[in-house]
Amino acid sequence: MRNTKSIVSGFIFISFFLILVNVAAYAQIPPGNVADLAAQGSVRTCLIPQRGDDPEGKGSERIWLVHLKGRCESPGGCECVLYQHPNNAVAADAEGELDSEFCNKTANLSEPEKTKTLARVLGISTKLLAKWAPKQPLSPEEQEIRDKKLRNRCQKAINEANQPVLRSVPVGTRRCSIVKNNLASANLEAGKSNVLGVTSEGKIPYGNVDIVVKELTYKHAPLEFSAVGNNDSKTTVDTAENNLSTAGNDNTLKNGWLSFLKGKDKTTVTGLDKDCLSITWDPYGRVFDAQSLEPLPEALVDLIDNSTNENVVMKQNLSYDVTGDDGLYNIQVDKEGEYKLTVDPLTPHSFVQSPLLSKYWRYIYSDLYTKDTTFKETYNTPTHADIALQPDGEPFREAVAKIVPGTLNAQDMNGTIFYKGRSTFPMALTCLVHEITGEQVGDCVHANNVGYFTISLQKEKVPLARLRVVTKKVNLNDPKLYSDTVKVEPLHFNSLMLSDVQKSYFFEPILSLVEGYAYDLNHKVIPNAVVRIVLKESKQLAFETAADDKGYFVIYADKLPYMEYNIEFRNPQNGAKLSQTTSQFASLNATYLAQNKINLLLSQKNGKAIVKKTAVLNTINRKPDLIMQEFNKNSISPLFQSQLFALIGIITILLIAGAFIIMKVLKERSIK
């Protein structure tokens, strides 16, 4: 009997040990090593989503099959890389002062303090506030209705910004999960095992790309897909001048234009296939003034079940949506069926069946929805419906042009810097301004119909300083803004409520060389400092090295990200940590850079290009044995957690069942 107990105890111990090993292995699988996925020096092309079909799951998390098309411009093949941006709702919360107690406290305030406080937090402009505030004392019944509206709008903003699943959205770079290659028959390579046309090395073959990926997506978290491959340039080392130069390879100096930019205007938004964005949610659109065409904030949009004529109560989502400065509403459907929409604006407008529309409306909006129209909503066919409201008096002209937090994104795409983002105002004029001199840098561009803008600059024209983003309103009834060839896009992210006084937004320079000294903010050298390159948005570690005993270090382009990043220093003597922007690092090292004629943006010394890919010129330039992608504490999604717990549960059940079977067999043997 002792032997039986010992065997069973040993079996259980080994079983739980195996569970822990499996759980640890499963939980530690990173979605990709950012060090090689985000490095400069790669050939990158945009993969354009054609359609997202067959969503699995409901609520803020869904798994989609996304069809991607484009080209791989690297002869050695490409990887499909996904980059997920920050969630806009969480980013917008940084603009306000939202917390769980705010609405209840504010409801007890007297007028006009109540209105002013709500307006400040919900982002209502002071001009709109004047129209919103009651012109005369309200009756108790009217005051109760108005207070209920204000509390609803307040609570909606708080719920959206503080929704746990949105705060846990993982931000950053990872490899795509490819499930199908539609060009597989044309891409088979002799001598290599291929699975659906993707080689055993995980590469998409050179040439046209037509693939399907299966990805976990989140509400209001934009995605970008790229085909990323090696530049395949050859370099030689000139050790005498401590420089690297290209030899017989014109492609290295040109760095290769993206395929979708060839022959197109690189300075205006209309000349760029910039939309690497994907997932659409259910029903969505913008509410706007029928005459001025300006987006209407603070309009309450309800989804009505046509069979019951009652508001739809969502199990996993808010049952209404309130438009922000961009006029956008966006509601997720929990079940298929027939629906209609109602609109309750705070501005003096009416929701009618036949609004008197400006003739230019079709250049900004589409799929016009009118009162009492029903539509069928299904999981894989999102409904887009823009809504025009008729002004009761003068057209509404109080909309504002603001930068939407979480949308700004700068990328070094092989020698050209692309500055992207979104304004709350359609067709807004957007410019980049030198932070120090105040001069305009590059050309100003008009955003597209949903506020997206792209400004491109040749890298040699980019200053070694921050660039402030300035966006301005335009007259949407100006015919000069429009062309019949311009594509009208739908807007399908989240409604944003931004504070009235918005902070300034800047782009940092993307350096192709980081050389100099590790200084603290008092301009004192940090000897032997640990130097880390960390992506600005996702906080992921891209590269790590160490300075020498004088604080000097150098990092070349092949170890630097192609998007904005910060430089972190850790003092080995006291453990103190310091994070610097690239402009701060350049400013602190200005004297050294000038004396040695070093250009950090173009990776040049004495006017000669430093092109480094494989040779090591500095022994302290090292890559750690293992650089894993860093996650924030909330980066593991609820879906991942549920899969993990399900796996643990299944293994546990099987092991317990096995233990009972062994005990039974051993007991029977002992009886015999």
For residue 581, give Cα distances in angstroms to 215, 256, 513, 567, 585.
Answer: 32, 28, 14, 6, 6
**Identity of the highest mean pLDDT range in 59-73, 324-338, 400-414:** 400-414
- Counting Cα atoms < 13 Å in the Cβ hemisphere of 353 gives 3
pLDDT at res. 405: 81
Reference 301, options 253, 345, 343, 331; nearest CA is: 343
The residues, any chain, with a CB within 8 Å of residue 49's CB and separated by 6 or more, are: 66, 67, 68, 225, 276, 277, 278
Distance of alpha carbon 379 from alpha carbon 279, whole angstroms:
12
Q: Tell me the C-alpha to C-alpha distance, in Å, between residue 128 and each of 110, 115, 132, 399.
A: 19, 11, 6, 8
Which residue type, as a one-letter code, is found at position 465? A
Most confident by average pLDDT, 96-110, 348-362, 653-667:
348-362
Confidence at residue 627, expressed as pLDDT on a 0 to 100 scale? 27
Average predicted confidence (pLDDT) for the chain: 74
Contacts of 102 (CB under 8 A, 6+ apart): 121, 154, 158
- pLDDT, residue 48, reads 84
Q: Say what the pLDDT of residue 212 is.
A: 86
CA angle 554, 559, 563 (to 5 degrees): 110
Q: What is the mean pLDDT of residues 571-576?
A: 91
150/419: higher pLDDT = 419
Mean pLDDT of 593-603: 94
Mean pLDDT of 108-128: 63
Q: Average pLDDT, stretch 645-669? A: 64
Confidence bin at 289 (pLDDT 50/70/90): very high
By mean pLDDT, which of 127-136, 370-379, 439-448, 637-646 is the weakest? 637-646
3-state secondary structure of 65: strand
Q: What pLDDT score does 191 carry?
A: 43
Which residue, among 231, 268, 201, 277, has the nearest Cα to 43 in the 3D structure?
231
Query: Is it the case that residue 339 has pLDDT exceeding 80?
Result: yes
**For residue 607, is pLDDT > 60?**
yes
Q: What is the pLDDT of residue 621?
A: 32
How far apart CA 68 and CA 277 sit, in angstroms, is 11
Mean pLDDT of 373-392: 86
Residue 313 banded pLDDT, cuts 50, 70, 90: confident
With 70 as the cut, is the pLDDT of residue 206 above it? yes
- pLDDT tens per residue, range 138-148: 788 877 777 77
In the chain, what percentage of residues exceed pLDDT 70? 63
Domain spans of the chain? 2-26+636-671, 31-87+169-232
Residue 153: helix, strand or coil by DSSP? helix
| pLDDT value at 2 more than 80 | no
Residue 46 is predicted with a pLDDT of 85
What's the gap between Cα 642 and its chain centre?
24
SS (H, E, C) 574-606: CCCEEEEEHHHHHHHCHHHHHHCCEECCCCEEC
What is the structure's pLDDT at 638?
A: 42
What 396-399 contacts at long range (C-beta under 8 Å, 24+ apart), as own/partner pairs, is 396/289, 396/292, 396/294, 396/296, 396/347, 396/349, 397/292, 397/294, 398/125, 398/127, 398/128, 398/131, 398/294, 399/294, 399/295, 399/296, 399/297, 399/325, 399/327, 399/424, 399/425, 399/473
Confidence (pTM): 0.75
pLDDT of residue 380: 60
Question: 154 to each of 133, 285, 322, how far by Cα in Å?
Answer: 16, 21, 10
Instruction: Identify the pLDDT of residue 298.
Output: 79
Q: Choose between 430 and 218: higher pLDDT.
A: 430
Residues 242-277 pLDDT 10s: 332 222 322 222 222 222 222 222 333 333 344 454
